[in-house]
Structure 1
Amino acid sequence: MPAEPTDLDDAVDALYAGPLDEFVAARDAAARQAAGDGDRLGARRIKRLPKPTVAAWVVNQVVRDRPDEIAVLTDLGDELRAATAERDRARIRALDHLRRERVEGLVRSVRDAGEVGGRAVSQAVLDRLAETLTAAVMDADAGTAVRAGRLTRALQHVGFGIVDEQGEEADLVVLHPGQDDAGGDGADETDADAGSGSAADADTDAEDTDAENTDAENTDAEDADLEAAEREVEESTARLDRVEERRDEVRERKAAADEAARDAQAEVDRLEEEIERLTAERDAAARAVEEARAAVDEVAEELSAVDDELDAAEEQAAAARRRRRAARGR
């Protein structure tokens, strides 16, 4: 009895819902599980699933945590496009204002929480969350991709359409395990003749199996190259995330240093004002001292003159007393 095939759609959804740091290990385990179930094509497709950036992972978690709010937000995009088609400017302005309010509200709630899924959220990631939510409103395909919760990169709405967080043209095809590199629907295909039991069907199935095995063998080398390239992308993305976190940390330190510098400058300004006030008081006191000294000198001169006058008066009085004694003795 053949093994029950892996539910690839559930496997992919679990990968993009799980912890970011465990993505690669979980993806490899899911690919091994699919291969063990005999689904080599599915295993190859799972193995090729790219690891999301930090910002894309945060968006995916927010979408899962707040599906109703995200649905309301993307529905607003439908209303905006309808209003634009009708050239209803008043309605467009009202809806655009509502769009900004709802995006800001969602981002504010994440900022206030300070984390998503136990992972701290930097200001750079919050900015990309806002950009992605805006893109989900402004573009129907972006809205579908965001609601799926399987983004690998955050999105931006620019004048000519949607780009990813690195400024490259965004791939808005929702990641499904059944989609091969050419955009086919391999996992969604149904076998209209399944269960017919005819020999022709058996031969066809055998041929398909042989072809698939041959295809798998021929793509082993391609898979190895792809895995190496993917590891390089993941490593560079991880490095980018680390640099962005460092940039946020440095920005916070710079903001703290700027505030300290402003406080220090304010203290310098206060002290300079105090110095100016004390200098004015000192100059006034010095002038008072000079005036007092001048007054002392003036009074000293006057006192000296009075002393001289007193001496003369005393001499005159003594002479008068002598003359009086002489007159009495006659």
Structure 2
Amino acid sequence: MLVGFTGKNFTNNLIGDLIGFSILAGIFYAFKLHPIRFGLGLVLVVLISQFSIGTLGGILDTKRSFFGVYRVLDDRRGSYHSLLHGTILHGKQSLDPKRHNEPLTYFYPTGPIGQLFSSLNQTKPPKNVAVLGLGIGTLAAYSELGQQWTFYEIDPTIERLARDTRYFTFLQNSKAPLSVVLGDARLRFTEVPDNRYDLIFMDAFSSDSVPIHLITKEAIQLYLSKLAKEGLIVINISNRFLNLEPVLGALAQDLGLSTLRQREADISESEREIGKSPSHWVLFARNQKDLGNLVSDSRWQPIPETKSAPLWTDDFSNIFRVLRAFAARKAG
């Protein structure tokens, strides 16, 4: 999710904008730039002024790793702590004691994931759950006694922040025992016994740098080998720039899997204020019956079959074809 983008920041940062304009004007006259370049510079200054993480709240902590810069924010728009990776929101937790263990953002109880767990808990509660991508550990809020949860995370910095109880407590408050396995999830999955997990969550695709190797045909085949007979693969493809649904549809079609998808794009302002985010989720199952009563839920629909969708493999992928802007131009 892209955060900190609002036109109000132009007036809030007026002094900084004027300084930027003044510097740009000086460069323009000193180097005798073409007017078009000056105009583009003005547009750039205005756009940069829109991105102000500081307007969201105070920065409580900053960490840098090989994978980028992480910031923990004290959100002034509500009583929340948030984790940002660049401008991408990777988790939010309420500081209200009554809502402290409430899953927010993509995982909100009234959204697709809340619906999924409600269905599973009524029919076949999972015993072993794997999550590819830790974030702040929000999904642990859905854990129950008698379960075992395993999170896979490539960046140790993320685990340190998620376990820092000054900021986040989803991992600490888990009802089920859990562990965090560090390293590339696909490589670490090869160490797992076959048919181990009842649920495999994939939550690594919301950023603007998508780990393609986690959603190739060979990767899905690996996950299926580690999935229990009636298990589900649950994939978060909420992404501002990429539409991965056709890719997953092609994979499911090639592998003979049943699918359900739900894109909850229309979120009210009141829902946003209490921490809910738009989200886009896909379910994979070996058989339709394994999807339970979600099959009859009108909010969930199978991914439409299409012959034009690309089949991603370890030898081929095409990120350009799933860019939302490109897809929109092609459709037009």
**TM-score normalized with structure 1 length:** 0.20
**Which structure is larger by alpha-carbon Rg, 1 or 2?**
1
Structure ranking higher in helix proportion: 1
Q: Considering fraction of residues, name the structure with more strand.
A: 2
TM-score normalized with structure 2 length: 0.20
> With CA pairs under 8 Å and 6+ residues apart, which has the higher RCO, 1 or 2?
1
